[in-house]
Amino acid sequence: MTAPTHIRRELAHRAANGIEVTLLWSAAEDQVAVQVVDTVEEQAFELAVDRDRALEAFNHPFVYAARQQAPMAWAA
């Protein structure tokens, strides 16, 4: 039996004022992403990020998304 390849590892997590930010890494795809969840509004979005910008994106996901012109569509 083989392990699922879609599992992502949580590298960092923080929460404040109803906003949760998680830095995730997929070993199978060797990709990093930042997930932002607004627990008050019950919305979320996720950004694919470059490895060398992972901590920047984790610490400032809204700024990173704006700089990268990445889609920030909130999903309910």
pLDDT at 54 exceeding the cut of 60: yes
26-51 pLDDT tens trace: 999 999 999 999 999 999 999 999 99
Spatial separation of the C-alpha atoms in residues 54 and 75, rounded to whole Å: 22
pLDDT at 71: 56
For all residues of the chain together, what is the average pLDDT? 87
Class for the domain spanning 8-68: alpha beta
Q: Grade residue 68 by pLDDT with cuts at 50, 70 and 90.
A: confident
Token digits of residue 36: 């932002």
